[in-house]
Chains A and B, each alone.
Chain A
Amino acid sequence: AQSVTQLGSHVSVSEGALVLLRCNYSSSVPPYLFWYVQYPNQGLQLLLKYTSAATLVKGINGFEAEFKKSETSFHLTKPSAHMSDAAEYFCAVSELQGAQKLVFGQGTRLTINP
């Protein structure tokens, strides 16, 4: 069965600092991996996705993530945090073979300090 673990339910960084949100997955077959962001009172919005092409994936708003099979990780990074990045971030996994559901991690709340 698939699962996702996000290390750190709450991450706080200063504006302009590196953002690193950690995600590790477990999947018995090659996974598809996603990062979603949720701003207050809004739905989940796709940031980026890994679908077995390039291991370094670039998304919206300057975020990127690297798929590392050996580490079963898909950490999300952004070189320089902006105040508008404050939100909840969810990592999710789905399997290629016929699965339609997304399996989510517990989420990481990102706070940006001025």
Chain B
Amino acid sequence: EPEVTQTPSHQVTQMGQEVILRCVPISNHLYFYWYRQILGQKVEFLVSFYNNEISEKSEIFDDQFSVERPDGSNFTLKIRSTKLEDSAMYFCASSDRPGPYEQYFGPGTRLTVT
């Protein structure tokens, strides 16, 4: 069964460093999403992406964040200068259609900023 994969599973970085979280969505999907979950808090929407551009983003997704689909398979989330409060589990999701239909989630990347 097709699945969304994410690498790495755990990333430790120092404050101020840049990190890139990688996702490989399901191959025929066209809609891509990033969510995050700070420990003990809700899963929060960050951004959605379609046709090589951002279609919606949350207030969390400020200038420190960017997303990219550098090739036909990967979907990345970059944090330019990490802060302690960026420590969270980051989930990638993909869907084959827009709107409130099933989004398929990856296992997540746990980002720890020290």
Interface positions of A (Cβ within 8 A of B): 32, 34, 36, 41-46, 49, 51, 90, 92, 94-96, 98-107
Interface presence of B72 (CB below 8 A) = no
Total contacts A to B, CB within 8 angstroms?
63
Q: Is the CB of B31 within 8 A of A46?
A: no
> Distance in Å from the Cβ of B37 to the closest Cβ of chain A?
8
Report the nearest B residue to A33, measured CB to CB.
Answer: B100
One of B3, B6, B98, B102 near A100 (C-beta < 8 A): B98
Segment at the A interface, from B14-22, B79-87, B103-111: B103-111
In the assembled complex, the CB of B60 is this many whole angstroms from the nearest CB of chain A, namely 11
B44 within 8 A of A: yes
Whether the Cβ atoms of A36 and B42 lie closer than 8 Å is no
Give A49's nearest chain B residue, CB to CB. B102
Cross-chain pairs A/B with CB under 8 angstroms, 27 sampled: A32-B100, A34-B102, A36-B105, A41-B107, A43-B6, A43-B91, A43-B105, A43-B107, A43-B108, A46-B102, A49-B102, A94-B100, A95-B100, A96-B100, A98-B99, A99-B99, A100-B33, A100-B55, A101-B56, A102-B35, A102-B45, A102-B100, A102-B103, A104-B35, A104-B42, A104-B43, A106-B42
A contact residues around B102 at 8 Å (CB): 34, 46, 49
A51–B55 alpha-carbon span in the complex (Å): 22
B43 contacts A100, C-beta separation under 8 Å: no
* Inter-subunit contact B31/A43 (CB<8 Å): no
For window 61-112 of chain B, which residues contact chain A by CB distance below 8 Å?
A: 91, 93, 98-100, 102-108
**What CA separation (Å) do A16 and B55 show in the bound complex?**
45
The 5 closest A-B pairs by CB, nearest first: A94-B100, A32-B100, A43-B105, A101-B45, A44-B105
CB-based nearest A residue for B56: A100
State whether B107 touches A106 (Cβ < 8 A): no
With beta carbons under 8 angstroms apart, the residue of A42, A49, A101 that contacts B107 is A42
Q: Which of B3, B6, B33, B104 contacts A101 (CB 8 A)?
A: B33
Evaluate contact between A100 and B91: CB separation under 8 angstroms: no
Question: Which residues does chain A contribute within 8 Å of B93, judged by CB atoms?
Answer: 44
Residue of chain B at shortest CB distance from A36: B105
